[in-house]
């Protein structure tokens, strides 16, 4: 399975999870069937949903429907809480015959387009859910279920529909895009330790180098070279934390040919040297 087709391991009895991400965490284009809400708690973030770039500031929320292709670019100094849940949680409770799939396709996903009072109510529910997750007091799962139902009811009754809803042919187009991106990500995953050229990766999905360059930038918001460098730096960060290899050995494992280039990219990405990063993460651990 490719690393960018996300399949969260959720409890079938309560398919729900909360993740706290800081701004240095980059999520490359992916999709999953679960509904996702992102609440920005600090700074601002830049993300893309179905080929469209967006920005969210502190206190703002976005709802991402299952099947939507999305990514979040690295946004240093920011922080976000991610809430994911599967619609199957509501299935046995849906005695009114509500069209839940249609609702999540139609609802306006960006809280800046809601009234501020409505945004504040949703934010309060999300904060309570996060605090329950952190405290884990007796019965917190019951409280989380209650809060999730409260959240859904409030969204259903109060949040407006967006002006334009993706048509079925647009969904098919998005899946075609995802399949091509997935092939690219598989290629990178398998070959990042060696030299990768634009021509090689373009050929791997049957595109010309010129078309591939435009295709990748349009659908991820960054150039392929930038993505590849970010991917390799992420691998280096993992090795710095989880191995005792020295920096030169790590560079030889991630496909960056020049030590000078590696140090420049790492400092640019993390704001510190590789050894400082290792020291900082070792203290945390």
Residues of the chain with CATH 2.60.120.280: 16-158
Contacts 24+ apart (CB under 8 A), 171-177: 171/67, 174/50, 174/51, 174/67, 174/68, 174/69, 177/51, 177/69, 177/219
Task: Evaluate if residue 23 carries a pLDDT over 80.
Answer: yes
Q: What is the pLDDT of residues 90-118, one digit of tens each?
A: 888 888 888 888 899 899 999 999 999 99
Q: What's the pLDDT band for 73 if we cut at 50, 70, 90?
A: confident
Residue 111 has what DSSP assignment? G
Give the least confident one: 37-41, 101-105, 191-195.
101-105
Task: Evaluate if residue 166 carries a pLDDT over 60.
Answer: no
Q: CB within 8 A of 101, min separation 6: which ones?
A: 87
Q: pTM here?
A: 0.61
**Closest to 104 in 3D by CA, of 159, 24, 167:** 159
CATH number of 16-158: 2.60.120.280
Residues of the chain with CATH 1.10.10.60: 196-284
Please state the φ and ψ torsions of residue 142, each to the nearest 5 degrees: -65, -40
Query: What pLDDT sits at residue 88?
Result: 85
Question: Higher confidence at residue 77 or residue 148?
Answer: 148
Q: Give the Cα separation of 280 and 271 in Å (integer).
A: 12
| Helix, coil or strand: residue 8 | coil
Looking at the chain, the whole-number percentage of residues with pLDDT higher than 70 is 91
Q: What's the pLDDT band for 8 if we cut at 50, 70, 90?
A: confident
**Closest to 236 in 3D by CA, of 183, 275, 201, 184:** 275
The sign one gets for the Cα dihedral 247, 252, 253, 256 is: positive
Q: What is the pLDDT of residues 219-255, one digit of tens each?
A: 777 789 998 998 899 889 888 888 899 999 999 999 9
- List, in sequence order, every beta strand (DSSP E) within 24-171: 27-30, 35-42, 44-49, 52-57, 61-64, 70-72, 79-85
Of the CATH numbers 1.10.3720.10, 1.10.287.540, 3.90.245.10, 1.10.10.60, which one belongs to the domain with range 196-284?
Answer: 1.10.10.60
Q: Give the Cα separation of 106 and 169 in Å (integer).
A: 16
């Amino acid at each position: 399975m490719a690393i960018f087709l996300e399949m969260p391991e959720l409890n079938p009895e309560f398919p729900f999870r909360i993740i706290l991400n800081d701004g240095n965490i980059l999520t490359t284009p992916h999709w999953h069937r679960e509904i996702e809400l992102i609440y920005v708690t600090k700074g601002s973030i830049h993300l893309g949903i179905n080929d469209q770039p967006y920005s969210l500031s502190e206190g703002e929320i976005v709802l991402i429907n299952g099947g939507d292709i999305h990514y979040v670019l690295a946004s240093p100094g920011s922080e976000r809480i991610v809430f994911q849940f599967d619609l199957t949680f509501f299935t046995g409770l849906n005695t009114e015959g509500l069209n839940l799939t249609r609702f999540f396709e139609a609802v306006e996903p960006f809280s800046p387009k809601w009234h501020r009072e409505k945004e504040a109510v949703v934010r309060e529910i999300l904060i309570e859910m996060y605090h329950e997750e952190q405290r884990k007091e007796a019965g917190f799962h019951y409280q989380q279920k209650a809060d999730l139902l409260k959240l859904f009811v409030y969204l259903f009754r109060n949040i407006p529909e967006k002006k334009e809803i993706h048509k079925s042919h647009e969904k098919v187009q998005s899946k075609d895009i995802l399949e091509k991106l997935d092939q690219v990500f598989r290629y990178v995953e398998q070959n990042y330790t060696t030299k990768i050229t634009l021509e090689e990766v373009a050929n791997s999905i049957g595109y010309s180098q010129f078309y591939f360059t435009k295709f990748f930038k349009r659908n991820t918001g960054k150039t392929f070279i930038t993505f590849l460098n970010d991917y390799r730096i992420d691998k280096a960060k993992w090795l710095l934390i989880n191995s005792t290899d020295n920096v030169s050995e790590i560079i030889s494992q991630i496909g960056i040919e020049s030590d000078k280039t590696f140090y420049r990219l790492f400092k640019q990405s993390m704001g510190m040297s590789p050894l400082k990063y290792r020291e900082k993460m070792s203290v945390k651990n």
